[in-house]
Structure 1
């Protein structure tokens, strides 16, 4: 299958790439179907692209690339909502704010996207509104 996007051209995907958000992302509550695709020759960043709006996409990354001891406590309610059976089912990603100056790139560790990779369900949760977590540097000096 193919998704025509505004900024990333045509993205090929299959049904297994589709993530259904149980609640839209902050500021994009009406968008609930996304695909997660790798970026060629890049192990750190991926593209989280809306299936419903060809102009909406986020650069995302694993929080563990920037903070090895990053932890998220999943509530019992969230575990049920995303039908999580095991820790192995869970993928955690965070949005990235790009900058021309690589030292100014940040990631939002305060609002991770939790994905059940087996059930293709996800949800963005807010765990902190601390400015240091919301704009956590991708590169530390």
Structure 2
């Protein structure tokens, strides 16, 4: 199937369509997305709407930025997405990329996608130290420092 997206015209198989039954906050009327991974923006991927060509959200796996990222996923979300194994789950965080200023990453409301069912949902993680705006460079430096300190311990 062919779609116009913010990143241009794409052709994808129907098995790459991710259904967000309830949309995403701010985009509740959009339900069909796909994940794009263009060479020119790697490692940043794009969650692109297949219903509104002007909507594509830059995303990264949160553990790529924060190696100790760990969240509790509510049981009702696991059931809704039909997650039986951790390998079925794709975990992404939305980036904010301003024209001037620092890139931030939302660690408080990750996007969860089932590889098996192709269902997706964005979940607000309650009772955590994660915020919706973490400075990307600060988090990467923190993870490198943490990784280096763990190497020293071994």
TM-score (norm 1): 0.88
Summarize the alignment of residues 103-114 of structure 1 with structure 2, pairs less than 5 Å apart: 104-114=102-112
Distance 1:121 1:60 in 2: 17
Summarize the alignment of residues 58-97 of structure 1 with structure 2, pairs less than 5 Å apart: 58-97=57-96
- Which stretches of structure 1, 4 residues or more, deviate above 2 A after TM superposition? 128-132
The structure that has the greater radius of gyration is: 2
Question: Structure 1, residues 62-114: CA drift from partner, whole Å, max 9, x if none?
Answer: 1012111111211111111111111110010011111345x711111111000
Q: Whose strand proportion is higher, 1 or 2?
A: 1
Which residue matches 1:99?
98
Is the 2:19–2:118 Cα contact (8 Å) retained in structure 1?
A: yes
Summarize the alignment of residues 119-130 of structure 1 with structure 2, pairs less than 5 Å apart: 119-128=117-126
Unmatched segments (≥5 aa) in structure 1: none
Is the 1:44–1:65 Cα contact (8 Å) retained in structure 2?
A: no
Which residue matches 2:35?
36
Q: Whose helix proportion is higher, 1 or 2?
A: 2
Which residue matches 1:117?
115
Instruction: Quote the RMSD (CA, aligned, Å).
Output: 2.1
Distance 1:53 1:129 in 2: 33
Count how many residue pairs are aligned between Structure 1 and Structure 2.
139
Are residue 51 (structure 1) and residue 75 (structure 2) matched?
no
* SS of corresponding position for 2:137: coil
Unmatched segments (≥5 aa) in structure 2: 142-154
